[in-house]
Structure 1
Amino acid sequence: MENYQSTEISELAKALINVQRTIQPAVKDATNPFVQNRYATLNSVMDSCREALLGNSIWMTQFPVPAEPGYLGLVTKLTHAESGQWQSSLAVVPLPKADPQGMGSAMTYARRYALSAMLGIVTDDDDGEDAKMPTKTTSPSRRPQNAPLAHKGTPSDERPGQVDKNASDSKHGVQNFLALLPRIDGITYQTVPADGGQTCIIATGNTAAKKALLSEAGFRWNPQRKVWWRYAHAS
């Protein structure tokens, strides 16, 4: 995409100000089975902004666009019906699998994050009491609570990056490895097939603010693809 907005956006901006005055936080209505953190689904994100957008004559559309092999490109576009002014964004995310299911999963993931970013949607707990409970932060240098027990001969306080390679090569090795990764607020993990039959783990979310923790957990920054990643068995 060469242009991300119309020449004039003043009327659209006024409408979006009204949207952000009335928009509601997206409720965390699902749980990530790998890291057990709660997150807001696409349905929740849409519910939080649909009425605000329609009430201010803003049409929102999202559609896929070509990207490099192994990646999905998604455009999110906001159009002001009365003035015709528009603004858009392009998100590029890795495909977990090179099949329709993988594309659908990546598209759903990209849609909720791209829309949240464009409108400034934040998330909120669906249980007020849970929201008041203090949260316990797990140090990235220790095994997360409720993670599988370490293999025999492996220290229980082993750092996340030091997972036994034989375990990662077993049938459930990748799932065990994901469970051993630190739970970092605002970060989710996604597995992607890599060359040589290996599994690559991508860290997504608010990575800019968590660079130190991701680096300590063995993730590396890829400046070309702009992602934090690591192999499932690399130390």
Structure 2
Amino acid sequence: MHRSSDTIGAIAAALAKAQGELLNPEKNVIATIRSPFPREESRTFRYASLASGLEIVRKSLGEHEIATVQTTAIDHATGQIQLTTLLAHASGEWISSDWPVCPITETANPHRMGAALTYARRYALFALVGIAGDDDLDAPDLLVEPSPTVQPPEDPHQNRPIPRKSNGSIHKPRQPKPVLSAEPSAVLRDQLVAEIKELNGADDLALWAHRRLPTKNTLTAEDARMVETAYQAAVGPLPGRLDDQVTPLLKTAQKRNKAHLRFVAEQPCLVCQRTPCDAHHVKFAEPRALGRKVSDEFTVPLCRDHHRQLHHHGNEIAWWGNVQIAPLEAAEKLWQETLAAPRPTFRSGVQHHPRPKADERGASSRDSG
């Protein structure tokens, strides 16, 4: 988030002069990003260290009476450590930006927190003064030499006019997904089944499903069912998957209830008690299946910040353990409230929706938190 003093004319003029003298620091450090997929190669990129960037920035900005200050603070509302980078001019004008560093729980691991802080300081400072400190990897595929293309045969329907809807908008027909013929489908089916048999643990299974689901959809219907059967057999009961604080309730039938989702979204966040909230589905409450959500009965209220933080964490069980909350207990209480709520009644053609009393709603919110 960007902030500044009421006026920034003096600091903007000084910063413009300094930027005319600033040079990008030398990218003398090489980092390697290892791919989690065995068939993908690791990628390397160069970047400039924080020390080399500070040496250039301080010298140039100092000549134009601009000081750089970087401080940290704990934001209890979001559960994050925040970094503030400030450019202060001799005139009293200033410009600053805030950068999230890491969750507060990372303070228990100083090495991880220190690495995240160095990363945040480098990116925040370089962005604020307008220099680049690492290679641009936004489009790495452009660095690969393109393979020769084969001109497709001319389509006799190529010049056919695109149909338009009554409102004048262009309607483009959807292209059907290509399905393999019997023999290639059988070969791919055997390959996918063999990959499933080599997977160990829930994380590997989930990662495989995310990566290979589009490939599975190119199989014939019979071969796809065989792959799904092999996947379900591999999922099965996974020992050691859950800790003592979070215990799953294994359900076979998936339940959908839109009214319950709306009710959950009206409750305060389980972590910070703020509203409004999203109805979050607790993923580990049921055995995993390809492309399916768990039942709506396993939903809990989370504010948008904590909902996003949970998804970015990557390990939902560990995240709930860090905040010391058992989500399935809260989800069960909310589900029981929905089941116990009286159904709508109809009188004289008017639908009446009885609402729970205020004291009952308050008690249920406190119980679920």
Q: TM-score with structure 1 length normalisation? A: 0.53
SS at match of 1:90: strand
Contact persistence 2:24–2:133 (CA under 8 A): yes
Any conservation in 1 of the 2:102–2:113 contact (CA below 8 Å)?
no
- Cα separation, partners in 2 of 1:135 and 1:65, compared to 1, 3 Å: same
- Give the 3 Å change call, closer, same or farther, for CA 165–80 of structure 1 in structure 2: farther
CA distance in 2, matches of 1:105, 1:124: 16
Matched residue, 2:89 = 80
- The verdict on how the C-alpha distance between 1:73 and 1:166 changes in structure 2, with shifts beyond 3 A counting, is same
Structure 1 SS opposite 2:88: strand
Q: Distance in 1 between matches of 2:33 and 2:60?
A: 31
Q: SS in structure 2 opposite 1:123?
A: coil
- Cα distance in 2 for partners of 1:64, 1:21 equals 29
2:171 is matched with none
Answer yes or no: is 1:107 the counterpart of 2:117. Answer: yes
Write the distance in 2 (CA, Å) between the matches of 1:167 and 1:74. Answer: 35
In structure 2, what residue type is equivalent to 1:84?
Answer: G
Does the C-alpha gap of structure 1 residues 33 and 77 become closer, same or farther in structure 2, counting only changes over 3 Å? same
Distance 1:110 1:46 in 2: 13
Query: d(CA) in 2 for partners of 1:34 and 1:152?
Result: 26
CA, structure 1 residues 24+232, in 2 after alignment: closer, same or farther (shift >3 Å)?
farther
CA shift at 1:61, angstroms? 0.6
Confirm whether residue 6 of structure 1 aligns to residue 14 of structure 2: no
Match of 1:229 in 2: 312
Q: Give runs of aligned pairs for residues 152-171 of structure 1, distance below 5 A.
A: 153-154=194-195, 164=199, 166=201, 168=203
Task: Tell me the residue number matched to 1:189.
Answer: none
Report the secondary structure of 2:97's partner residue.
strand
Which sections of structure 1, spanning at least 5 residues, go unmatched?
126-133, 138-150, 156-162, 170-175, 181-194, 198-221
1:46 deviates by 1.8
Secondary structure at the aligned position of 2:195 is classed as coil
Distance 1:10 1:232 in 2: 47
Aligned length: 161
**CA 1:230–1:92 in 2, change beyond 3 Å: closer, same or farther?**
closer
Specify whether residues 164 and 18 from structure 1 end up closer, same or farther in structure 2 by C-alpha distance, changes over 3 A only: farther
Q: 1:59 to 1:152 in 2, by over 3 A?
A: farther
In 1, Cα distance between the equivalents of 2:200 and 2:315? 9
What is the CA distance between 1:223 and its match in structure 2? 5.7
Deviation at 1:88, TM superposition (A): 0.9
Q: Is the 8 A contact 1:74 1:91 kept in 2?
A: yes
Cα separation, 2, equivalents of 1:73 and 1:14: 28
CA distance in 2, matches of 1:47, 1:135: 32
Moved more, 21-30 or 34-43: 34-43
2:68·2:87 contact (CA, 8 Å) conserved in 1?
A: yes
Shift of 1:165: 5.1
> Per the alignment, do residues 42 and 152 of structure 1 end up closer, same or farther by CA in structure 2, a change over 3 Å counting?
farther
Higher helix share: 2
Confirm or deny that 1:37 pairs with 2:44.
yes
Q: Which has the larger radius of gyration?
A: 2
SS of corresponding position for 2:126: helix
Q: Distance in 2 between matches of 1:5 and 1:166?
A: 50
Aligned partners of 1:72 and 1:103 also within 8 Å: no
Secondary structure, aligned partner of 2:116? helix
Residue type at the aligned position of 1:76: T
Amino acid at match of 1:113: Y
Is the strand fraction higher in 1 or 2?
1
Separation (CA, whole Å) in 2 of partners of 1:46 and 1:232: 35
Aligned partner of 1:206 in structure 2 is none
Q: Separation in 2 of the partners of 1:53 and 1:44? A: 14
C-alpha offsets along residues 198-223 of structure 1, whole Å, 9 cap, x if unaligned?
A: xxxxxxxxxxxxxxxxxxxxxxxx96
Partners of 1:76 and 1:22 lie apart in 2 by 21
Structure 1 residues 72, 50: closer, same or farther in 2, change over 3 A?
Answer: same
Aligned-partner SS, 1:26: coil
The RMSD of aligned alpha carbons is: 4.3
* Higher relative contact order (CA closer than 8 Å, sequence separation 6+): 1
SS at match of 1:122: coil
Contact kept? 2:58, 2:67, Cα under 8 Å: no
Find the counterpart in structure 2 of residue 97 from structure 1: 106
Change (3 A) 1:15 1:154: same
